[in-house]
Amino acid sequence: MKKITFIFVFLFSILAMSQNPYITITVAQDESGQFTSIQKAINSLRDLGPGEALIKIKSGIYKEKIVIPSSKHQITLEGENKETTIITNDDYSGKLNPATNEKLTTFDSYTVLIVGDDIKISNLTIQNTWCNKGQAVSLHVEGDRFVMRDSKLLGCQDTLYTAKDNSRQYYENCYIEGTTDFIFGQATAVFKNCEIRSLSDSYITASATSKENEFGFVFFDCHLTAKEGVSKVFLGRPWRPFAKTVFLNTTMGNHILPEGWNPWKGDKMFPEKEKTTLYAEFGSKGEGANPDKRVEWSHQLSKKEIKKYTIENIFKKTTSWNPSK
């Protein structure tokens, strides 16, 4: 009996250890933690570490340009409070980079870049303060199995870049704002119970899903809102020919145009993208829900068709992953 009890306690201890971070670091501007810089805290972690590393970030405004490289994985950035824990920068496409004497592009204008796999962010605000003068990314994600919860993404054009065909990303209880194409990219990304706020008359999404990927952007139970005076917003336009964007049980304000979707005419390299895109809805609610007036090349899904839209099935690729559990 004692032997069985010992084995049980041993196995329980191993399980507990596997669920706890192998290291916890605190970042605080008042020097009460190990670091005052988030990037320095990330740099201090062992490459390809043995388990989850937890970085707790105390309230403050951190003006940093942060990179989590591919050699750093299983990192959680946990803010003290999303309203008071803010990572901010103001780079933009066309800005001169003094380090290289070359102009930045959209893809390196980010405030935070995630390349490593299994990164989690919670209770944080990530912001790019450059607005109305071109592309300026707040969050750029390339890594696989990325999770963001209870956080805010602030910016204008191109706020969130969901990069890479093989990247799976999950956003829950988040607030995301912007002007034009402020959720864009190639990744398979799920947005659950998020507020998506338009700051100008323009487009919310610009998906670039590959032909091989069955799912692109999927919105569950989200709320589409708008700044006062904004009244002409499209749900999306296709950045590339096989763009896939689906809104399920989403509440849409009256700023959403009746036609809903835009074909992005005038793209000479990729003409007639509306013939190959998948733009669809099910159970849209609110003044912006106009199923009978949507463009003819979009879809209103049936109850049978939405059965495949489960978190587990959407993220099922070479390996299974269900971050909602």
Nearest partner of 124 among 158, 171, 169, judged by Cα: 171
Q: Phi then psi for 9, rounded to 5 degrees?
A: -65, -40
The DSSP code sequence of 182-240 is: -EEESSEEEEES-EEEESSSSEEEEE---TT-S--EEEES-EEEE-TT---BEEE--SS
| Annotation marks residue 158 as catalytic | yes
Burial group, residue 67, by CB count within 10 angstroms (0-12, 13-18, 19+): middle
Amino acid at 73: H
Contact 261, 294 (CB under 8 A): yes
Q: Which residues contact 178 (CB under 8 A, 6 or more apart)?
A: 155, 156, 157, 158, 159, 160, 197, 198, 199, 204
The catalytic position among 144, 158, 267, 292 is 158
Spatial separation of the C-alpha atoms in residues 277 and 245, rounded to whole Å: 8
| Annotation marks residue 181 as catalytic | yes
Name the CA dihedral angle for 114, 41, 149, 91, rounded to a multiple of 10 degrees: -50
Spatial separation of the C-alpha atoms in residues 174 and 82, rounded to whole Å: 10
The catalytic position among 30, 165, 181, 221 is 181
The alpha-carbon radius of gyration of the chain (Å, integer) is 21
Q: Annotated active-site positions, please? A: 158, 181
